[in-house]
Amino acid sequence: MGGEAIVNSGLSLFAIPGEGEPWEIPSFYSVSDSEIKRVSEMLYSADVNKATSHEIVLNLQHKISSDQTGEGQDYASQKLFSYVDEDALFSKPTFARLLALLNNYERMTGKEEVVITSKSQEVDAFLDEIFQTQVMEKLTQFFLSEGKVLTVQACTAG
């Protein structure tokens, strides 16, 4: 579910289409475009678990314009991935924990999900693994330095 930022009379508002009235985002949540770019580049370089060019090969076929993105049409005639080294990629701790979650959820919307202890433990294990990465460490440090959170525990509290 996506949302969009709205500027109205100088206030920063956030709205999710079809979900009622937009709400104001407190100024302490404001982050500039340059900050987002800097942090995203920092996080990308800190990600030692990301797929390498030896683990996946993409088959980029058709570049679309920004006004074509909402059309819902697939312009590619072939598969996106021409090669995936599943053994190497899926043995990485974060990927392995994510794979364990894939059968935990109902594919069809409107179906009630039954949450059992083992599924809940898989979610906890995945989150624990994610929070041990350099990416989350750097993101937590960014939030602390910007005053977005006051303690490390605030980033991990559920």
Distance CA 34, CA 28 (A): 16
Number of domains in the chain: 2
Residue 7 has a pLDDT of: 41
Range of the domain at 62: 51-84
Which runs of consecutive H residues, i.e. helices, occur in 11-157? Answer: 33-46, 86-90, 93-101, 117-131, 134-145, 152-156
Instruction: Tell me what pLDDT residue 119 has.
Output: 86
Residue 72 confidence (pLDDT): 81
On whether residue 61 sits in a domain, the answer given is yes
Residue 2 structure tokens: 């996506």
> For residue 56, which of 87, 85, 98, 99 has the smallest C-alpha distance?
85
- 123 located within any domain: no
| Confidence at residue 54, expressed as pLDDT on a 0 to 100 scale | 94
Is the residue at 13 inside a domain? yes
The confidence score (pLDDT) of residue 152 equals 77
The answer as to whether 134 is a domain residue is no
- pTM for the whole structure: 0.63
pLDDT of residue 118: 86
Domain boundary among 84, 105, 125: 84
pLDDT of residue 157: 57
What pLDDT is stored for residue 2 in this prediction? 46
Do residues 134 and 128 make contact, with C-beta atoms less than 8 angstroms apart? Answer: no
Tokens of 117: 């202890």
Distances (CA, A) of 52 to 85, 92, 130: 10, 12, 18
Position 73 scores a pLDDT of 84
Report yes or no on 60 lying in a domain: yes
Name the token pair of 93: 């701790």
Please give the average pLDDT of every successive group of 10 residues along the chain, which has 158 residues.
Answer: 43 55 61 88 94 94 84 88 94 92 82 83 92 92 82 70
